[in-house]
Amino acid sequence: MNRADLALLLVAAIWGTTFALLRDSIRILHPVDLMAIRFTMASIVLIALYGRRVWPITRRAAIDGSHIALWLGAGYLTQVMGLATISASRSAFITGSYVAVVPVVAMVLTKTRPKAGEYFGIALILAGLYAFSSDAGFSLASGDLWTLGTSVTFGVQVVITNMLVRRSDPMALTIVQVVGASVMGWIFVAARGGIGTPWNEIPWWTLAYLAVAATALVIALQTWALGHTSPIKATLIFSLEPVFAALFAGTFFGERMHSREYLGGALILGGVVVSEAWGHVAGWIGSRRAAG
How far apart are the C-alpha atoms of 9 and 209, rounded to whole Å? 18
How far apart are the C-alpha atoms of 177 and 277, rounded to whole Å? 34
What is the mean predicted confidence (pLDDT) over 210-232? 93
Give 95-109 pLDDT, tens digit per residue.
777 777 888 888 888
How far apart are the C-alpha atoms of 135 and 258, rounded to whole Å? 11
What is the helix, strand, coil percentage profile of the chain, to 5? Answer: 80, 0, 20
How far apart are the C-alpha atoms of 181 and 76, rounded to whole Å? 9
Q: Give Cα 20 to chain centroid, integer Å.
A: 15
Q: What is the pTM of this model?
A: 0.81
Angle at Cα 232 formed by Cα 93 and Cα 59, nearest 5°? 105
How far apart are the C-alpha atoms of 77 and 181, rounded to whole Å? 9
DSSP collapsed to 3 states, 203-263: CHHHHHHHHHHHHHHHHHHHHHHCCCCCHHHHHHHHCCHHHHHHHHHHHHCCCCCCHHHHH
Reading phi first (left if > 0) and then psi (alpha if -120 to 50, else beta), residue 221 is in alpha
pLDDT given for residue 191 in this prediction:
92
Q: Reply yes or no on whether the pLDDT at 85 is more than 90.
A: no
Rounded to the nearest 5°, which phi and psi values hold at 115? -75, 165
Angle at Cα 159 formed by Cα 154 and Cα 165, nearest 5°? 115
Strand ranges inside 87-212, DSSP E = none
Give 21-62 pLDDT, tens digit per residue.
887 888 899 889 999 999 999 999 999 999 898 888 999 999
CA-closest candidate to residue 151, choices 52, 58, 38, 71 = 71
CA-closest candidate to residue 232, choices 97, 99, 93 = 99
Q: What is the dihedral of CA 103, 104, 105, 109, to 10 degrees?
A: 100
How far apart are the C-alpha atoms of 292 and 286, rounded to whole Å? 10
Share of the chain above pLDDT 70, in %: 84
How far apart are the C-alpha atoms of 14 and 37, rounded to whole Å? 19
Q: Reply yes or no on whether the pLDDT at 282 is more than 70.
A: no
pLDDT given for residue 102 in this prediction:
84
Q: 111 in helix, strand or coil?
A: coil
Q: Give Cα 146 to chain centroid, integer Å.
A: 15
Of 4-18, 140-154, 172-186, 269-283, where does mean pLDDT reach its minimum?
269-283
